[in-house]
Structure formats: C-alpha cells, structure tokens
Chains A and B, each alone.
Chain A
Amino acid sequence: MPDRSRLSNIPWGMIGVVMLIALIGLSAVYSATCTASGASSLFYKQIAWIVIGLIVMFIAVIPDYHTISRYAYALYAVSILMLVLVMFVGKSGMGAQRWLPLGPFAFQPSELSKLALMLALAKYYADSSKKDICLTDLTAPFIIAIVPFVLVLRQPDLGTAMMLGLTAAMLTLIAGLRLKAVLILLVIGAVISATVLFIPPVKKKIWSSLKPYQQNRIRAFIDPSSDPLGSGYHTNQSKIAVGSGRICGKGFRQGTQSQMEFLPERHTDFIFAVIAEERGLLGAGLLIMLYLFLMLFGIDTAKNAKDRLGALMASGIVSMLAIYIFINIGMAMGIAPVVGVPLPLASYGGTSVITTFLALGLLFNIQIRRFMLFY
C-alpha cells in the first residue's frame, strides 16, 4: 500500500508561493496605512490574521477532506444563519450591513458564505454522481446558491453577491453542465438583460431599487471619466496609480498616489494599485504570475484528485480564487466594475485572509491524499 509520509507530500513550494503573495500584500498594507509616526495598527493586525490563517490552513490539512465534506451542509447552514443574524445585529459600514461584532473584532459572514456555498455545491454534485447535468437537475443547486446570494445582495453587497453567483456558475460548468443547457441559460440571460436595459418601465424599476452608491458605480463603470470627482474617481485614480508605477515602480512608500488619501480603500480593495505603483510592472507582474502558479496548481490538484469530490472541491476553490483575483485586479486597472471585493491573501481584512487560507488548506488536503485509497 503506497502510504507515503503525508508531511513530505505537503507541497512546500506552493506554500512558499502563498507566503510570498501574503508578504507582498503585507508590505503594501504597511505602505498604504503607515503614518508619519510609523506603522499603523492595521499592519500588526494583518500580521496576526496571516499567522492565524496559516494555523487554520495546517489544521485544514489534517482531517481527510471527505470527513470535512460530511459537514459541508452544516457549515452552509451556519453561514446562512450568520447572514440572517447580520441583518439584525450587524454593524454597518459604508452604507451596508456586513459585519457581525465579535468582541473587539468584526466578522464578515459573506466572506465565509462563499466557501460554505462552494463546499455545499461540490458535495451536492459529487453525491449526485450524474455526469451530465441538464437544466432540470439544476433546481437543488439553484436553491443552494440563491439563498446566500439574496441574503448578501440585501446587505446590500452587490459585489460579493456577484462573486457567489459566478463561483456557483463556474463550479456547475465544471461539474458537467450540458452544452445545450449552457446555451439555453445564455439565451435566458440575454433576454433578461435586454428586458432590463431596453424596456424603460422595467429599467426604471430595477434602477430605482438600487442604492445610490450602486447606481453610481454602474454609471462610473460605463464612463469613468464622466465625473472625476464622484463615482469614476476610484477608477481614474487607481489607473493613474497603476500606470504611473511604470516598469520599476516608484519604490516602497514612494507612491504619490498610494501615500495620498486618494482612495479610501487603498489597503483593502485597491491594494493592487498600491503594489503596482510602488513595485511597478516587475512587482505587479510577479504577483500575477504567483497567482497563476497557485491557480494552475489547484487545477493540477483537481486533475490528480482520486475522486469526484476531490476534483470538484479543488475546482471550486480555484474558481473562487480566480474570480476574486480577476475581478479585483481588473477593477484596479479599470477593466472590471468597482464592486468592492478583496484581493485574496493581499488585501487587508481578517475574514478574507483566514477564509482564503482555509480554502488553500483544503486544496493541499486534496493534493496530499491524491494517491490514497479509501479506508
């Protein structure tokens, strides 16, 4: 029986990649938040989040992922419960109610729900073991996905809700959605979009149901230069920051855009702009390459997984990472709407950092058990 030492199976190289990403992010968090008198408390908190994240990651490697998957629905239920709870006792921030107070900290249930949703869907598809999914098979996954989607949308957090939807869609594609079903869904989507966009009463109703900041962000995405002081401000400033970094960057703490208070969320959602400005094409390019390694490693894990569950979980984790990475970096460079989602491992934020490490722990879990048999 090929019972290799599990420890030696841990992909240490990949853990090195993960740490490198976290450190690039951490140095940018330092640069973006420090004051004349030195590092801000956010920097030290971020160190704490990364350390906690690493511990969580190693813990997530220990039990067999099948054991973990057994609790997928329970975790899903807990995440839904917390999303409901946040509606009542949540702390508000920037026009939305997203945080659960947790002693001196605040916990963001929507960040956990993305992982819980992904695990629940992976378990569902693995259990159903249908290799061809047609539209009628989508009822249960649809319900699983729509509940957290609506709850997050109501916070309101359009960005995270979109992320949830995209992750679910991507995982469904990989699980084996028929081409015919894909086409039908695309047509339905096109019809709904057309209705919303081209039938004035519907358009008006939908538009007025959005929060003003959401309207502004949509307007700004369509034409960021329309209002340099208002909605398009983030995008324009972020583009200037990225572009002005040129090839070599302006140097640590030398970014005029990053050091100025041009972006209120520069240590969270716009951390990429800080990195690109201060580290240039070399730094930002390295970061993107590191993310690419990580994602391809994840796909490799899925490919080598010994069963459907492992393959689906690994693919789901990669989907989740990929969507966040592409949308966040695209947003910083003005090719994706400003939706306010963190850059995994790099952005400041406890819930996001720890959840990402947890997901990576699961990925490594699948990776080191690829040769093992059931017991």
Chain B
Amino acid sequence: MRQEAPLDIQRRLPFFAAFIILMTIVLFVRLWFLQVVKGEYYYDLAENNRIRTIKIQPPRGVIYDRKGRPIVENVVVFDISIVPEDAHNLDDTIKRLASLIKIEPARVKEAVQNAAPTRLKYEPVKVKEEAPWEEVAVVEAHQDELPGVIVEPVHKRHYAYGGFGSHQLGYIGKVSQAQRKQEQADINLLIGQGGIEKVHDRLLRGAAGRRMVQVNAAGMKVKDLGIEDPRPGRDLYLTIDLDVQRAAEEALGNRRGAVVAMDPGTGEILALVSHPNFDPNLFPRGISARDWERLTNDPSHPLYNRAIQSVYPPGSTFKIIVSLAGLDTGIIKPDDKVTCNGFIRYGKHTFRCWKKGGHGTVSFHRALVESCDVYFYTMGERIGYDRVALYAKKLGLGALTGIRLPDEKPGFVPTPAWKEQKLKEPWYPGDTYINSIGQGFLLMSPIQAARMIAAVANGGIFYRPELILKSRDRESGSVTIYQPERSELRAVIDKSALDEVRRALIGVVNEPGGTGQASRIAAFLVAGKTGTAQVIAQKEPGKRLTEHLEDHAWFVAYAPADSPKIAVSVLVENGGHGGAAAAPVARKVIEEYLKDAGQKQAI
C-alpha cells in the first residue's frame, strides 16, 4: 500500500512527458532538416569552404643609425610549404613537387614526420626556404596538381652591412623550447637572440595578426573572410653613427680588439666595435651546424662582445685614476718631483720603468705625459692603495656600466682583504706598486674605459651608455625618445685637480715626448692616455714573445679638449704598445666624427 500517494503530481506528469516528447521531436526535426534536407549544402560548405585562421607575422622593426640610415632591414622571401592535411596523398604530392623543383622527397617526408609531435592541425611544414623565383613561379602555375602545397611570403631579416656592429645589433633565431613557454610564441616565430635584437625584442617584434580565409578542398584560398592586421614592430634609431662605426671597424681592421666611442655629454654610444665579428645574416633562417661550429670553436671567439664582456688590465690608462686620487686628496702636489733611474727597488724586488734609462727628475705633468712608471710607483705608495681603489671605484671600475646589452662583465678592483682571502697572501707594498700602473689584479672593460675618460672630459658625470636614440611606430609615426640617463655614480673631484690631469692628457698627445702622439689631429686638440697591459708579469729583456703573450694596447681619449664631443676607448689585443697600436685607431674615429665640425672650425 502507499502512503500519501502524490496523486496530484501524478496527474500532471503526462503533460510533462508530452512536453519532453514534443521537445525531442523538435530536436529531431531540426536534426533531420540540417543533416538530411540541407545535408549536401552543409557538406559542401564544410568540404569546400573550410575556414582557416592564418597567423600573419608582422615585419620586425627596422634598425636605423642616428642619422636615419637603415642598418637592419627586412626583405621578403618565399618559402614553399606543405599542409599535410590538404595533400590528399602526401607521397604523391611530394613526388609531383619533386619533379618541378629541386627537393629530396625523403627529406620532405622526414620533415613532415619530425614536425608531427608539436605541429597543430593545418599548420604548414616548410619544404624549401627562400625558394628561387623560378621555383615559386612553377609551383604557383601548377597549384591544381599540388594539393596542400603553398607559397608563403616571409620577412627575412637582412643585416645590410654584414658583420658591421654585429655585437650590438645581435641576431634573431628560432625560439627555444623554454622561450616558447615563456613568450607564448608559436613554433616558427623568430625572436632576438643577442644584442639589441634580444634586449629590445618586445619592441621590435610587434604583434601577430590573423586572417580568416575560406579554402577549398585542396587548401587553396577561395576568399578572405576577414583580417586582423598585425602590428608591425617599432623601428629603432640607434645612437650609432654609421660613419664613425665604419671608421672604427676599418681602423681596427682584422686585429682582435674593441673600440667604444661615446658622447661624453649624454652617454650615447657613437660606435661600438668588437673584432673579430660575425655575420648576423647567418642566423635568421636557422644557422647551419657547420657555421655554428665554426663560430663557437674559433679560438678568437667572434661571438664574444669584447667591448663589454672582455676585461683587461688597464695598464697605464689607470695612471689617470692614480693622478686624480693624488691631486684630489692633495697628497700629490703638481710640483712634487720624483727622480726616475729606470727602476725602483723594494727589498729584494726590482720594479722597472718602461723606459730603460729612466726619465730623470720629473714632476706630475711630465710624469703623466711620458707615463713614467717610477713616478706612479712612488706616488701610489704615498697615496696608499686603499685611496687608489676608492678612486678606481669612483670612476666606474669594478661595476657594470648598465649598458642594455646581454652579459656585461664588471671587471675588478682588488682589495687587500680580497687578496688575503682568495690567495691566502698578505697585500705586499709591491702589489701597491704594480696596481698603481694598472697591472696586477685590476681588470677593466673597453666600455668602462670609455665611460671613465668621458667622465674626466665632462667633469665627473656618469651616464648609462645608451644605444637607442628613439623608437618610432611605423603606422602612427609616434616617437619615443630615449633620454640620457645619469648613473648614480658621480665622481666629485676638485676642479683644479681635474684641470691638471686634463692638461697632462693634452700633453700626452701634443707635447714632445708624449706617448700618444699618434693620435694628434691638426684641427683639434685631442686629450688622451696610452696604456700597455702586460699579459705576463714581467718579460725577460730581449726575448720575443709569441703573439698571444704580447701586451694589450690601450688608448683612451676625448676631443676637442676644450669642449669634448666624443670620448673613445680602444683596445687592441696583443697589439703591443698603446701609443703605436691603439692611438691611431682613436685618431681615425675622432677625425671621422668631428669632420663636419672641423670644417667650421678651420675657417
């Protein structure tokens, strides 16, 4: 028996059932209508009017020099690709394609198989990159016989001057697995993998657009349904001056080394050279294994950006810092005299001056002009190494300059505490001697040298070295200007000390007996300092060294001396004497940059 039988509800349930049956009939009728009555129509739509979303990669931003001359551009090339889903019979299609253009069918099949795990449905597989024009034409003409084969126009990065400035420009390449995750990039995207291309990748890359197209059963486009334009990358205007860069590249020639030229008033980099360089054009379509091995196994490390990643003993260029330390603290008076007999003894050790016979009795000016080692041994000891190290740091040594390029190295300013901890040896007075002439443990990069001499030129202001002048939106033309950025670092140095040093630096280039006369220019007063960094501690007299043990040649300079417009540092690896090997390079760079100004001044 039932308790409290829900009769009223039971009475209504047939209506409910009827409603459900009615609704089901509606669904059936609709299903019948779509699949039977209009089935053929929809089948055709699905078969012949397939809708595809095709990604449109934007052109990367163009890179110009500071005067608007293009350095890195895009050229359109054509890739021949295959969409395996559209090739009714993949083997047949590949065979037919092979009869028309030069490809190896086995390699194409392999490429299709290799792409399978990560490829999205209907994503094309590249058959031939940068196909010659005749092949493109043949494929276009035979489209009907080649279902699934498409010609894709692609922007290819072109570095107009090859290896020219390759280290700051960088290069682009395929995304790595890790980058793919991080950037949510698709597999064929090329992104910056070095230099400016990497650092400013987000700006240069732009954003992909998409196009919706109807394609027929063979995958050929029937009509465009809509387009969402890609946003092209922003164009970058570099601070680099193409003429100055070229002068620096040519002056350094095929020697290993680096040149950095900057505007001391803004920190803008006018030229940045590292030799040997490499051709970034090798990379955009995937560098060949052979080329990659050649680049990475080259003992002279062409991929290494020597201007910011290599650090060297500063040699005699460090005497600028010792001079400022002595004069600014008042420990050195310009008239203080030291007698140089060509060497100085400390206990059992002998410390030589580079000039065998000695410089005789010298005061500050002649000592710096002639780069007398004995004078700076003596003064270094008098000032005390702690103060020397303090001024080295004040002038930016041992710290990153902050240039926006990957993997800058900070160099090194040793301290007695460091030596005791690291080498388990006390700091000897001899350490003070050799560090006072820029040998020993000190390490400096060419960009640090440039910034140091720029600070001497501009009165102690440090800028972050900047490579970008402005960026520009290609469509709207709107421009973002990169303002010079001052570093926190600021060397507050007494003006009379600074002037004393500057006078000596002019003397280095312009006075008889100066070590940097090779950089003299008739039209301008150049101020500079040579440096010769020993690779091994002290060479035995009269013995020739193998090339890789030769001294590194330094030269730092600025010009015009009265109102500095350019500061330059040059390093020639194993180049020998700074005055002979590096100073002429600096001269050519300065001459090139001041050429226009020089004509005015000559009147």
The interface of chain A, by Cβ under 8 A from chain B, is 36-37, 131, 173-176, 228-229, 237, 239-247, 256-257, 259-262, 276-277, 280-281, 284-285, 288, 291-292, 295-296, 299, 302-303, 305-308, 310-312, 315, 318, 322, 326, 329-330, 333, 335, 373-374
State A161–B27 Cα separation when bound (angstroms): 23
Q: Closest B residue to A307 by CB, please name it.
A: B4
- Minimum CB–CB distance for B296 against chain A, Å: 33
Q: Closest B residue to A176 by CB, please name it.
A: B8
What are the residues of chain B within 8 A of A246 when measuring CB–CB? 35-36, 39-40, 43
Contact (Cβ within 8 A) A245 B35: yes
What are the residues of chain A within 8 A of B36 when measuring CB–CB? 246-247, 281
Is chain A's interface secondary structure helix, strand, loop, or mixed overall? helix
Contact (Cβ within 8 A) A243 B38: yes
What are the residues of chain B within 8 A of A330 when measuring CB–CB? 26-27, 30
Mask of B22-38 contacts with A, CB within 8 angstroms, 1/0: 01101110111011101
State A302–B15 Cα separation when bound (angstroms): 13
Given known A175-B9, A176-B9, contact A256–B50 (CB-CB < 8 A):
yes
What are the residues of chain A within 8 A of B17 when measuring CB–CB? 296, 299
Given known A288-B28, A315-B13, contact A228–B225 (CB-CB < 8 A):
yes
Offer 10 A-B interface pairs, CB within 8 angstroms, sorted by A: A241-B46, A244-B42, A257-B46, A277-B46, A280-B35, A281-B31, A285-B31, A296-B17, A306-B2, A315-B16
Q: Closest A residue to B115 by CB, please name it.
A: A36
State A174–B5 Cα separation when bound (angstroms): 15
Given known A240-B45, A281-B36, A315-B13, contact A288–B117 (CB-CB < 8 A):
no
Contact (Cβ within 8 A) A229 B12: no
- Minimum CB–CB distance for B528 against chain A, Å: 62
Contact (Cβ within 8 A) B13 A242: no
- Minimum CB–CB distance for A227 against chain B, Å: 9
What are the residues of chain A within 8 A of B136 when measuring CB–CB? none
Those 3 A-B pairs whose CB atoms lie nearest each other, nearest first: A243-B42, A244-B46, A246-B39
Q: Closest B residue to A241 by CB, please name it.
A: B46
State A326–B3 Cα separation when bound (angstroms): 35
State A16–B552 Cα separation when bound (angstroms): 86
Given known A299-B13, A308-B9, A311-B6, contact A36–B23 (CB-CB < 8 A):
no
Contact (Cβ within 8 A) A305 B35: no
A247, A262, A292, A310: the one within 8 Å of B20 (CB)? A292
Contact (Cβ within 8 A) B43 A306: no
Contact (Cβ within 8 A) A306 B3: yes
Contact (Cβ within 8 A) B53 A261: yes
A173, A237, A247, A284: the one within 8 Å of B51 (CB)? A237
What are the residues of chain B within 8 A of A281 when measuring CB–CB? 31-32, 35-36
Does any Cβ of A come within 8 Å of B119's Cβ?
yes
- Minimum CB–CB distance for B485 against chain A, Å: 38
State A149–B290 Cα separation when bound (angstroms): 67
Does any Cβ of A come within 8 Å of B10's Cβ?
yes
What are the residues of chain A within 8 A of B23 when measuring CB–CB? 322, 326
Contact (Cβ within 8 A) A305 B6: yes
Contact (Cβ within 8 A) B27 A329: yes
Given known A176-B8, A244-B45, A303-B10, contact A276–B225 (CB-CB < 8 A):
no
State A296–B82 Cα separation when bound (angstroms): 52
Given known A244-B45, A260-B50, contact A292–B9 (CB-CB < 8 A):
no
What are the residues of chain A within 8 A of B418 when measuring CB–CB? none
Contact (Cβ within 8 A) A302 B9: yes
What are the residues of chain A within 8 A of B6 when measuring CB–CB? 305, 307-308, 310-312
Of A176, A259, A280, A303, the most chain B CB neighbours within 10 A belong to A303
Contact (Cβ within 8 A) A176 B12: yes
Given known A37-B117, A174-B12, contact A292–B21 (CB-CB < 8 A):
yes
Contact (Cβ within 8 A) B16 A260: no
Contact (Cβ within 8 A) A303 B13: yes
Q: Closest A residue to B12 by CB, please name it.
A: A174
Q: A229-B225, A259-B121 given. 11 additional CB < 8 A pairs?
A: A36-B121, A244-B47, A260-B51, A260-B122, A281-B35, A284-B31, A288-B27, A299-B17, A299-B20, A308-B9, A311-B9
Contact (Cβ within 8 A) B117 A243: no
What are the residues of chain A within 8 A of B3 when measuring CB–CB? 306-307, 373-374
Of A239, A242, A296, the most chain B CB neighbours within 10 A belong to A242
Does any Cβ of A come within 8 Å of B400's Cβ?
no
Given known A37-B116, A311-B6, contact A247–B122 (CB-CB < 8 A):
no
State A242–B32 Cα separation when bound (angstroms): 10
What are the residues of chain B within 8 A of A299 when measuring CB–CB? 13, 16-17, 20
What are the residues of chain B within 8 A of A229 when measuring CB–CB? 212, 225-226
Q: Closest A residue to B116 by CB, please name it.
A: A36
Q: Closest B residue to A277 by CB, please name it.
A: B46
Of A239, A244, A302, the most chain B CB neighbours within 10 A belong to A244
- Minimum CB–CB distance for A253 against chain B, Å: 11
Contact (Cβ within 8 A) B117 A244: no
What are the residues of chain B within 8 A of A175 when measuring CB–CB? 9
Contact (Cβ within 8 A) A335 B30: yes
What are the residues of chain A within 8 A of B47 when measuring CB–CB? 244, 256
Contact (Cβ within 8 A) B16 A36: no
- Minimum CB–CB distance for A322 against chain B, Å: 6
Of A176, A240, A259, A288, the most chain B CB neighbours within 10 A belong to A240
Contact (Cβ within 8 A) A261 B121: yes
Q: Closest B residue to A329 by CB, please name it.
A: B27
State A329–B26 Cα separation when bound (angstroms): 11
State A260–B53 Cα separation when bound (angstroms): 10
Given known A288-B28, A326-B27, contact A247–B39 (CB-CB < 8 A):
yes
What are the residues of chain A within 8 A of B43 when measuring CB–CB? 243-244, 246
Does any Cβ of A come within 8 Å of B41's Cβ?
yes
Q: Closest A residue to B37 by CB, please name it.
A: A243
What are the residues of chain A within 8 A of B13 when measuring CB–CB? 174, 299, 302-303, 311, 315
State A261–B43 Cα separation when bound (angstroms): 17
State A310–B117 Cα separation when bound (angstroms): 53
What are the residues of chain B within 8 A of A259 when measuring CB–CB? 121
State A291–B26 Cα separation when bound (angstroms): 14
State A196–B43 Cα separation when bound (angstroms): 40
State A244–B41 Cα separation when bound (angstroms): 8
State A176–B17 Cα separation when bound (angstroms): 16
Contact (Cβ within 8 A) B31 A322: no
- Minimum CB–CB distance for A264 against chain B, Å: 11
Contact (Cβ within 8 A) B27 A243: no
Contact (Cβ within 8 A) A311 B42: no
- Minimum CB–CB distance for A283 against chain B, Å: 10
State A262–B225 Cα separation when bound (angstroms): 14
Contact (Cβ within 8 A) A243 B16: no
- Minimum CB–CB distance for B227 against chain A, Å: 9
State A261–B120 Cα separation when bound (angstroms): 9
- Minimum CB–CB distance for B364 against chain A, Å: 71
Of B2, B8, B31, B122, the most chain A CB neighbours within 10 A belong to B31
State A259–B116 Cα separation when bound (angstroms): 15
- Minimum CB–CB distance for A89 against chain B, Å: 25
State A292–B19 Cα separation when bound (angstroms): 11
B20, B42, B120, B225: the one within 8 Å of A242 (CB)? B42
What are the residues of chain B within 8 A of A241 when measuring CB–CB? 46
